[in-house]
Amino acid sequence: MTGSTDGEPRAQACRILASMREATSDCLGSDFASTPRLDMLAQLYLAECEHRTLHAWSLCLASQVPASTAHRKVGELERDGLVLCRRGASPESGAERSRRQRDHRYVRVSLTQEGRAKIVRLLDRLVSIWGGACPGDGIDRSA
Cα separation of 143 and 113, whole Å?
32
Q: Is the pLDDT of residue 141 over 50?
A: no
Q: Is the pLDDT of residue 99 over 60?
A: no
Q: Is the pLDDT of residue 143 over 80?
A: no
User: pLDDT per residue over 116-132, tens digit each?
Assistant: 999 999 999 999 988 75
The residue ranking higher by pLDDT, 31 or 2, is: 31
Compute the Cα dihedral for 33, 71, 99, 50 and give only its sign: negative
Q: Which fold has domain 7-129?
A: Arc Repressor Mutant, subunit A (1.10.10)
Contact 66, 120 (CB under 8 A): no
pLDDT at 80: 97
